Each structure stands twice: as structure tokens, then as C-alpha cells.
Homo-oligomer: A and B are copies of this chain.
Amino acid sequence: MEKENDQPEVPLGPDGKPLSKKALKKQQKDAEKAAKKAQRQAQQAAEADTQVTEDFSKDRYGNMAMLQSTEKPDRRLVRVEELTPSLAGETVWVRARMHTSRAKGKQCFLVLRQQQFNVQALAFVNDKTVSKQMVKFAANITKESIIDVEGVVQKVAQPVESCTQRDVELHVERVFVVSASAPQLPLQLDDAARPEHDEEDASRPRVNQDTRLDNRIIDLRTTTNQAVYRVVAGVCDLFRATLTGKGFVEIHTPKIISAASEGGANVFTVSYFKNNAYLAQSPQLYKQMAIAADFEKVFTVGAVFRAEDSNTHRHLTEFVGLDLEMAFNYHYHEVLDVIGDMFVHIFKGLRDRYKTEINTIQKQYPSEPFKFLEPSLRLEFPEAVTMLREAGVEIGDEDDLSTPDEKLLGKLVKAKYDTDFFILDKFPLAVRPFYTMPDPNNPKYANSYDMYMRGEEILSGAQRIHDPEFLTERAKAHEIDIEKIKSYIDSFRYGCPPHGGGGIGMERVVMLYLGLTNIRKTSMFPRDPKRLTP
């Protein structure tokens, strides 16, 4: 059987040179118009045909009525990923997207797509089952329509390089449209799935971020996005499973709060009946209350809100926080051990369980595989300062790390230790919040840490002060109005174990693990200062 040509065609202008973006756009529009016209004509022709010659396939194709749950047929739908040579010769039903179709004389090549998988199908005119009209009908089904196809699975002589199911194709016997797509798509899936930095393919259209996000339901259909959001689900699942296995209890903390939890800045205000309320910037207070309330080890996964007017590659106004907090016995390094070990579990879980997804994503967004050590590498702040100074950075002992410092440090650590993940312990006390426990051995430092992936911070945490008197003293030193944080301080008046924890930005973990460059690629419906839709 003839194999579909999957060589990419570079669109050329009448002068033989590759077209400009603008020209491409125009061309695309024209093509869509033409397609629409062709579809109309084909339909008319098909109708005319049936008036002339009896269509022996007429019950074998068509548009289904809206599926309203009228019947419960005893028909099994086979998954596209199940289509392998082991089914060769069998007749199967498949429901999938019409990814592309191309008519060639008496034949029509289709690509059927289902999530991360696709298969080539072929309708060709014969004497008994597939009429000319039926092939025309198949050729005119709009891209992205959902169709039911009955076909015979056939092994192919040469692998179909453009499809995930390379060793088979489907010979169409029946085809029905379950849900038709509008003929004009706001973006083309093939454009959306094209690698961003492919020199050979540079002239072909890409889809920019805003067009993607404006038409998110189509953009999310790319095999890459199908894979990305499975990795997102994987990170959350691994986070919870690891901690549940260590005796943590999942809690749910309120998002509407009566007072701005982390100071008044960057907080969204909500109208709450006749009063004002705020959206929680973190579950910090509630996690700590759960510890004071004897839950010992808790985690929570939920929306976190920051009214920050930051329009960067790594800031969102609403994101998913993976937060944990635990009582420890003697030393906050017990907490560091748990978190470090948890990340190792997550990284291993992703590597082992999400191989298919990671490979799919790599095709569009190539990156170096994520490296980590077991146990996780732990450095102390002064070591980082030394490394940065050796690399020429001017930095004081008690200065916080800037974003470029972090990036550089990530590179230096990678070069020296061969890991993309590390823990930086013992931050200067001066750059941490008032509730951070100071280092007992050196009052300039704190029992406080950040964690990094590929040189970007993904977790911030510390031993918290559990003594109400000392907490008051430290708040005063930070010139915080004690009255405003009274209820927080009071949480520690009835006995509270020493404890520590951290908060993780879920979208950042996925972005950095996959080596992606924008957090909007790992948030299904991202929110930033300029985007509230869809």
C-alpha cells in the first residue's frame, strides 16, 4: 500500500523563495476559504452523484445525529495506542480526531489522533464497500472533527514515520462524524506542535504564546500538551503519595481569609458580604495551626494567590502550591531529610513512570535530562557565597541571592556536583521572615533553606519559631505591629512542638524538570496580571 508522504513541505512564494509570516497567514486564510468552497462543491457533487448512480456505500458513512444517549450498542472502541501488528487482519472501531486528511484520486489518507497517539488510515474506492462518494465524504471531513471509523488493521511494509503507530495502518470500511469541527481553526495543531528552535524548519509558522492561550482548548490538544499535563498530574500524585507514605495527613486550608497573611502588599481583596476579605498568599498560618493542633505532619495542595504585577517567565497571580509542614524531634535537618528525599522520589517517579510523556515533550522542547543526586546535595549559604565570589560575583556575607546569582550558582553547582537539584541551607537571618528560627550557633544565620532546580528557586522553608515570647520579640525587631498578628502568635500559647516546612510552586517544578522556559506552559489556564481568560 502506498505510504503517505510525510516530508514537510516548505511553502514557497511565486518567486520560489520561502514566504514571509504575513504572506503565510494570507495564504493560510485563502487556503481555508478554498477548502470551504471545495467542501461545499464536493458535497454538492456527492449529492449530484447519488442522484445519477446508486451509492452502494450510503449506509457506511455520514454525519451522526447528536449523541443523546439513545442506545447502548455492544460495540468496543479500540484505543489508537492499541493499534499494533498484533491486531493485523482484524476489523476494529476507533473513535478519534481527524488530525489531517488528504485526497489523492480514488484514495484518501487520514491521520487519526487520540491524545498522545496517532495512526494513519486510508480510504480507497473499491467495488463493494467503499464508493467514490464515501471517499469524497471522508476527504471533506473538517480537521479536528471527532469521527468513528471502522477499519481493518494492516501491517505496513515501511514504517509510517509521522505517526506513533508506525507499523500499522487502518483500511477504512465505515466512517461517521460524531462531532464536527468548524472548518476554520484559530490555530493549526501542526504549527502548535512544531519545535521552537528548529533551524531547518525555521520558515514554517509557529504559534505564539497568546494565540495558544486565547485558543487553549485547541492548543491543549497537541501531543506535547497532552503529555505536559500528565506530568503535572504526576508531580502532584508523587508529592502526595510520598508524604502520605511518610505519615503526613492531607489538610485543606481556607483561601478566603480575614487579614492579609504575609503582610498587606500583593494581596487580592474580596468583597465578603458587607465586609472585605483577602485571598490567601500561602497556607503558612494554617499549616502551622495544624501542627499546633497535633496533626504532626501535614501537606496541602491548593490555589495560592499573589497580586504581584510581575510579568515574567516564572510568575503567575494564581498557582498551585504544594505545601508541607512537620513537627520534628530535635533538629530541623529532620525536615530537610524528608523534603530532600521527597524530591528524589518525585524525580525518580517522573523518570520511571512518565517516560513516554517526557519523550513526547522532548520532541518539541528538547532539553538536557534532569539530573539529581541521592541523597540530595545540601550546601550551606557561605559555600554558595564562596563559589559565586570565585566566579567573580560581588556579594556580601548577608546579602540575599539575586535571580542572576541563583542562575549562575545553579550552573556552578551543576559543573561541580553534576546535579540540577540542590538544597541551600543556612540563609542569612536578615533576609528571611520574622518567624524564622535563628541559627543557635551563629546569630547572623537562620535555620532556613531554599531549594533549586536548574538554578531557579522552587521551595523556600525554615524551622519556624514555636515560642510565643521569642516570636513576639522577633516580630518587634522586624517592626511589625504585634496587634495585627496577635492570633498568629496566640496559636503557640498552648504548647506547640518545634516544626518546619516549606512551600513549593508546582508549575515551576514541572517547568524546570522538563526544561521549559515559560510557566504558562505548565499551567492549564494561567493567570497573570494581563490574563484572566479563558
Chain B's nearest CB lies how many Å from the CB of A35? 15
The contact of A447 among B69, B185, B470, B534, by CB within 8 Å, is: B69
Binding stretch for chain B, among A41-49, A229-237, A372-380, A399-407:
A229-237
Chain B's nearest CB lies how many Å from the CB of A532? 4
B318, A71: Cβ atoms under 8 Å?
no
Residues of B within 8 A of A417 (CB): none
Residue ID in chain B nearest A320 by CB atoms:
B252
Chain B's nearest CB lies how many Å from the CB of A433? 17
The contact of A438 among B68, B258, B292, by CB within 8 Å, is: B68
Measured between alpha carbons, how far is A527 from B236 in the docked complex, in Å? 26
Also in contact, A144 and B495, with CB within 8 A (given A295-B229, A525-B253) = yes
A72, B333: Cβ atoms under 8 Å?
yes
Question: Which of A95, A254, A273, A307 has its CB near the most chain B CB atoms (within 10 A)?
Answer: A254
A532, B272: Cβ atoms under 8 Å?
yes
A271, B272: Cβ atoms under 8 Å?
no
**Is A216 part of the binding interface, using a Cβ–Cβ cutoff of 8 Å?**
yes
Residues of B within 8 A of A440 (CB): 68-70
Residues of B within 8 A of A56 (CB): none
**Is A480 part of the binding interface, using a Cβ–Cβ cutoff of 8 Å?**
no
A273, B69: Cβ atoms under 8 Å?
no
**Is A518 part of the binding interface, using a Cβ–Cβ cutoff of 8 Å?**
no
How many chain copies? 2
Question: Which of A70, A290, A467, A494 has its CB near the most chain B CB atoms (within 10 A)?
Answer: A494
A524, B302: Cβ atoms under 8 Å?
no
Residue ID in chain B nearest A248 by CB atoms:
B233
Residues of B within 8 A of A67 (CB): 330, 466, 498
A270, B273: Cβ atoms under 8 Å?
no
Also in contact, A181 and B447, with CB within 8 A (given A273-B307, A303-B303) = no
Measured between alpha carbons, how far is A77 from B333 in the docked complex, in Å? 16
Measured between alpha carbons, how far is A97 from B294 in the docked complex, in Å? 9
Measured between alpha carbons, how far is A208 from B132 in the docked complex, in Å? 79
Measured between alpha carbons, how far is A333 from B305 in the docked complex, in Å? 38
A532, B217: Cβ atoms under 8 Å?
no
Measured between alpha carbons, how far is A254 from B527 in the docked complex, in Å? 8
Residues of B within 8 A of A146 (CB): 495-497
**Is A289 part of the binding interface, using a Cβ–Cβ cutoff of 8 Å?**
yes
**Is A286 part of the binding interface, using a Cβ–Cβ cutoff of 8 Å?**
yes
Residues of B within 8 A of A303 (CB): 252, 254-255, 302-303
**Is A160 part of the binding interface, using a Cβ–Cβ cutoff of 8 Å?**
no
Task: Mark A425-465 against chain B: 1 for CB-CB distance below 8 A, else 0.
Answer: 00000000000011011000001000000000000000100
Residues of B within 8 A of A72 (CB): 330-331, 333
Residue tally, chain A, CB below 8 Å to B: 106
Residues of B within 8 A of A270 (CB): 268-271, 279
**Is A242 part of the binding interface, using a Cβ–Cβ cutoff of 8 Å?**
no
B289, A218: Cβ atoms under 8 Å?
no
Residue ID in chain B nearest A285 by CB atoms:
B534
**Is A100 part of the binding interface, using a Cβ–Cβ cutoff of 8 Å?**
no
B532, A293: Cβ atoms under 8 Å?
no
Also in contact, A292 and B493, with CB within 8 A (given A232-B252, A330-B71, A437-B69) = no
Query: Which A90-111 residues have C-beta < 8 A from chain B?
Result: 95, 97
A524, B253: Cβ atoms under 8 Å?
yes
**Is A265 part of the binding interface, using a Cβ–Cβ cutoff of 8 Å?**
no
B495, A532: Cβ atoms under 8 Å?
no
**Is A221 part of the binding interface, using a Cβ–Cβ cutoff of 8 Å?**
yes
Query: Which A278-322 residues have C-beta < 8 A from chain B?
Result: 279, 286, 289-290, 292-296, 301-303, 305, 307, 309, 317-318, 320
Task: Mark A498-512 against chain B: 1 for CB-CB distance below 8 A, else 0.
Answer: 100000001000000
A115, B494: Cβ atoms under 8 Å?
no
A69, B533: Cβ atoms under 8 Å?
no
Measured between alpha carbons, how far is A192 from B362 in the docked complex, in Å? 56
Also in contact, A495 and B255, with CB within 8 A (given A71-B330, A268-B272) = no
Given contact pairs A146-B496, A237-B244, a sample of 7 additional A-B residue pairs in the complex whose CB atoms are under 8 Å apart: A68-B438, A69-B332, A185-B494, A232-B250, A252-B303, A255-B255, A256-B279
The 5 closest A-B pairs by CB, nearest first: A220-B293, A181-B495, A258-B532, A233-B250, A68-B440
Please name 15 pairs of A and B residues whose Cβ atoms are closer than 8 Å in the assembled complex, sorted by A: A66-B470, A69-B332, A69-B440, A73-B330, A144-B495, A217-B293, A218-B494, A232-B250, A240-B240, A252-B524, A254-B318, A256-B527, A269-B270, A269-B271, A302-B302
